[in-house]
Chain A
Amino acid sequence: MKIVVACKWAPNPQDAEVRPDGTVDWSRSKSAVSEHDPVAFEVARRLADATGGEVVALSVGPAASDTPLARKAMLSRGADRLVLVADDALAGLGSTAVAAVLSAAVRAVGDVDVVLTGPESVDNGDRQVPMTLAGHLGWPGLGAVGDVQAADGGLVVERATDRGVQVLDVTGPAVLAVAADAVVPRVPGMKDILGAAKKPTDVLALAGLDVPAPVAAAEVVGTARPAPSARGRHVITTADPAAAAAELVDALRAAGAL
């Protein structure tokens, strides 16, 4: 089974600053593997180990995203090899265009059985790429995936919905966006990190890819801080623990939290 993990070398939000107008200053952020992508890698590695398959990390981004550190970071997460499309024409692209490039890269990898992604990228958080990618490929796209198992040449996919857990048989290739809590990803150790430098990386030229022209596009045109929630400002002053607990429960009930 050939499993592709679409991952992103993204700026770390810990060092980002939200400006008063709601826009984000990423200039001081160091890049790392996007926060939830390690979950997709972990699901992929387990699936590959169970089926004797291969995990291919796939990342597209501007030229600056191809660094030795980025390569090692992605390859230390359990991938067998890495495929990169790094071109400044990809800088600042929206999710629709990124999904189109990814779809061309997946086709270039060839014979892919499943593409796994995280639920969203840590910087943009659009949640558009996995489903748009599935659309470009003409494959089923499923989000909130908690578990994937191989069965009879296809996949059994478990995912959470508002009404409970759904189990699906998927025949043929699919794009699966894993839930952030699908598994706890392993932490790469020194062996994984040293081993990463020895794994192969293929760099695909953007010009050589058959990128589909977008039929339609959804682009982010504005961002704003969430509206501040109104605070209850209920201060419990009693020193008696039992009375304080009772007062807290009453306050939470009144607020509709219990």
Chain B
Amino acid sequence: MDFGLTDEQELLLSSLDDLLERECPESYIAELDATHTPPTAFRKALHEAGFASLGFPEEYGGTPVDATTLVLLAARVARQGLNNGYGLELLQAMDILEFGSEEQKQEILGLLASGDVPFALGFTEPGAGSDNAAMSTTAVHHDGVVTFNGTKTLITNALQSRYLLLMAKDPAVANPREAISMYLVPMDAPGLSTNPLEKIVWHISDSCEIFVDDVTLPESCLVGVKGAGFKQLMRNFEMERLVIASQCWGLAECAYEDAATYAAQRVQFGKPIGQFQLIQQKLTDMAIKVENMRNFVLRTAWMLDRDVPLKSQGALCKRYCAMAAFEVADEAMQVFGGVGVTVGTRVSRLWRDIRGHRFGGGTDEIMVHIAGRQIVKDHS
């Protein structure tokens, strides 16, 4: 089995390292976290260096790339200590490139080029999340326009996005699988308002409640096919889980490296604490988990690249990586002792950010729901 990287992957990672060193030092990330600011300048630099269009079709100025390369890049950005710094916007844009109108595609690509987040995904509701059948936001088509009503919540990056990719259902269609459609709604549309939610994780990504009150737009805001919204959204779920897992791997590796370095320097009882076996055991178990995450992510990407049916693999990978990464960050914080919880120590930020991945993109428990059913089905 070849665990080596291709020349292209090595060179691309080397380029990314240069860019991270230049445009995304720890001081920059810490400042973003402290001021709850999105990494717009870094995203712009990523775009200028061609990273923000990797995976896009060539006709949209992109360079097709395999899943393995994408997760390697996402993990490398995360290893720098930046949460959600690469990959997720790319996947969202794919939804529009695949299903959007020409006008929608040009608009989204333009926003990506300027380092902006093109849109936030308006999916979760106070009464509906993974249980999408319970969705209550409505889209009523009439007289060439469509009118939306409802409430969305925990919408990531809503304040920094120009658009909301709104998932809403036609109340006249009973089957929820055929009722949900996808719409690109400007965040400044009359009738749409936001209420920011303060949270203890993911400071560089805002989260909002969004109130949709008789928002009426031309029907051209529909993305793709009416009634096929959920299917369209599902297209990238496997890749999304994999990108989240690769972020967990990268962030965990960052925490592990910090802890190992600290253990080698921090002197207690006359010697570095890394020389005590209790600390060595922590570092050893952390190293095993980081290695497991790396292998899990790369094997899942390898399966995607070869069109091997993932079945439960994506959910297993996301669940394992989110949980293992948090365990690594938690132990890293323990190695730091009291210093680990002080603001300004990177491990405290990593601990917070990784915690968010245990529910972002589907909770640990929903991953069991997805994988468990598949496992039982495969053995029935």
Instruction: Enumerate chain A interface residues (CB-CB to B < 8 A).
Output: 32, 68-69, 72-73, 76, 184, 186-194, 196-197
Interchain CB contact under 8 A, A187 and B19: yes
Closest B residue to A73 by beta carbon equals B11
Residues from chain A with a CB closer than 8 A to the CB of B49 are: 186-187, 189
Contact with A along B47-65 (1 / 0, CB 8 A): 0011100100000000101
Q: What is the CA–CA distance of A138 and B191 in the complex, to the nearest angstrom?
A: 76
Interchain CB contact under 8 A, A72 and B7: yes
Interchain CB contact under 8 A, A187 and B63: no
Is B8 part of the contact surface with A, judged by Cβ < 8 Å?
Answer: yes
Q: What number of A-B contacts does a CB cutoff of 8 Å give?
A: 44
List which B120-151 residues lie within 8 A (CB) of chain A: none
Interchain CB contact under 8 A, A69 and B15: no
The winner among B7, B49, B63, B65 for most chain A CB atoms within 10 A is: B7
Given A187-B19, A189-B50: A69 touches B7 (CB 8 Å cut-off): yes
Interchain CB contact under 8 A, A72 and B8: yes
Interchain CB contact under 8 A, B7 and A190: no
Residues from chain B with a CB closer than 8 A to the CB of A190 are: 8, 12, 50-51, 54, 63, 65
Instruction: Enumerate chain B interface residues (CB-CB to A < 8 A).
Output: 7-8, 10-12, 14-16, 18-19, 22, 49-51, 54, 63, 65
Interchain CB contact under 8 A, B15 and A187: yes
- 27 interchain pairs (CB within 8 A)? A32-B14, A69-B7, A69-B10, A69-B11, A72-B7, A72-B8, A72-B11, A73-B11, A73-B14, A184-B22, A187-B15, A188-B11, A188-B15, A189-B15, A189-B49, A189-B50, A189-B51, A190-B8, A190-B12, A190-B50, A190-B51, A190-B65, A192-B50, A193-B11, A193-B15, A194-B8, A194-B63
Interchain CB contact under 8 A, B18 and A187: yes
Residues from chain B with a CB closer than 8 A to the CB of A196 are: 11
What secondary structure prevails in chain A residues at the interface with B?
helix
Residues from chain A with a CB closer than 8 A to the CB of B18 are: 187
Residues from chain B with a CB closer than 8 A to the CB of A69 are: 7, 10-11
Contact of B50 among A68, A73, A191, A197 (CB under 8 A): A191
Given contacts A187-B22, A190-B54, 18 further A-B contacts (CB under 8 A): A68-B7, A69-B7, A184-B22, A187-B15, A187-B16, A189-B50, A189-B63, A190-B8, A190-B12, A190-B51, A191-B50, A191-B63, A193-B8, A193-B12, A193-B15, A194-B8, A196-B11, A197-B8
Residues from chain B with a CB closer than 8 A to the CB of A191 are: 50, 63
Closest chain-B Cβ to A193's Cβ sits at a distance in Å of 5
Closest A residue to B63 by beta carbon equals A190
The winner among A73, A189, A192 for most chain B CB atoms within 10 A is: A189
Residues from chain B with a CB closer than 8 A to the CB of A194 are: 8, 63
Q: What is the CA–CA distance of A197 and B6 in the complex, to the nearest angstrom?
A: 12
Residues from chain B with a CB closer than 8 A to the CB of A187 are: 15-16, 18-19, 22, 49
Closest chain-B Cβ to A46's Cβ sits at a distance in Å of 16
Contact of A76 among B11, B22, B51, B54 (CB under 8 A): B11
Closest chain-A Cβ to B296's Cβ sits at a distance in Å of 25
Closest chain-B Cβ to A45's Cβ sits at a distance in Å of 15
Q: What is the CA–CA distance of A196 and B14 in the complex, to the nearest angstrom?
A: 15
Closest chain-A Cβ to B355's Cβ sits at a distance in Å of 32
Q: What is the CA–CA distance of A72 and B8 in the complex, to the nearest angstrom?
A: 8
Q: What is the CA–CA distance of A188 and B50 in the complex, to the nearest angstrom?
A: 8
Closest chain-B Cβ to A159's Cβ sits at a distance in Å of 24
Closest B residue to A12 by beta carbon equals B14
Q: What is the CA–CA distance of A224 and B322 in the complex, to the nearest angstrom?
A: 48
Closest chain-B Cβ to A15's Cβ sits at a distance in Å of 13
Q: What is the CA–CA distance of A190 and B50 in the complex, to the nearest angstrom?
A: 7
Closest B residue to A30 by beta carbon equals B10
Q: What is the CA–CA distance of A191 and B15 in the complex, to the nearest angstrom?
A: 12
Closest chain-B Cβ to A70's Cβ sits at a distance in Å of 9
Residues from chain A with a CB closer than 8 A to the CB of B54 are: 190
Closest A residue to B8 by beta carbon equals A193
Q: What is the CA–CA distance of A189 and B15 in the complex, to the nearest angstrom?
A: 7
Residues from chain B with a CB closer than 8 A to the CB of A188 are: 11, 15
Q: What is the CA–CA distance of A187 and B19 in the complex, to the nearest angstrom?
A: 7
Q: What is the CA–CA distance of A12 and B15 in the complex, to the nearest angstrom?
A: 15
Ranked 8 nearest A-B pairs via Cβ: A189-B50, A190-B63, A69-B7, A187-B49, A187-B15, A193-B11, A187-B19, A188-B15
Q: What is the CA–CA distance of A187 and B65 in the complex, to the nearest angstrom?
A: 18
Closest A residue to B50 by beta carbon equals A189
Residues from chain B with a CB closer than 8 A to the CB of A184 are: 22
Q: What is the CA–CA distance of A76 and B16 in the complex, to the nearest angstrom?
A: 14
Closest chain-B Cβ to A122's Cβ sits at a distance in Å of 14
Q: What is the CA–CA distance of A102 and B50 in the complex, to the nearest angstrom?
A: 34
Closest chain-A Cβ to B59's Cβ sits at a distance in Å of 14
Residues from chain A with a CB closer than 8 A to the CB of B63 are: 189-191, 194
Q: What is the CA–CA distance of A184 and B50 in the complex, to the nearest angstrom?
A: 17
Q: What is the CA–CA distance of A192 and B7 in the complex, to the nearest angstrom?
A: 13
Q: What is the CA–CA distance of A193 and B22 in the complex, to the nearest angstrom?
A: 20
Closest A residue to B17 by beta carbon equals A187
Q: What is the CA–CA distance of A189 and B46 in the complex, to the nearest angstrom?
A: 9
Closest chain-A Cβ to B200's Cβ sits at a distance in Å of 30
Closest chain-B Cβ to A245's Cβ sits at a distance in Å of 20
Closest chain-A Cβ to B352's Cβ sits at a distance in Å of 29
Residues from chain B with a CB closer than 8 A to the CB of A197 are: 8
Q: What is the CA–CA distance of A212 and B50 in the complex, to the nearest angstrom?
A: 44
Closest chain-A Cβ to B114's Cβ sits at a distance in Å of 17
Q: What is the CA–CA distance of A189 and B63 in the complex, to the nearest angstrom?
A: 10
Closest A residue to B45 by beta carbon equals A187
Closest A residue to B55 by beta carbon equals A190
Residues from chain A with a CB closer than 8 A to the CB of B12 are: 190, 193
Closest chain-A Cβ to B155's Cβ sits at a distance in Å of 31
Closest chain-B Cβ to A150's Cβ sits at a distance in Å of 26
Closest B residue to A71 by beta carbon equals B7
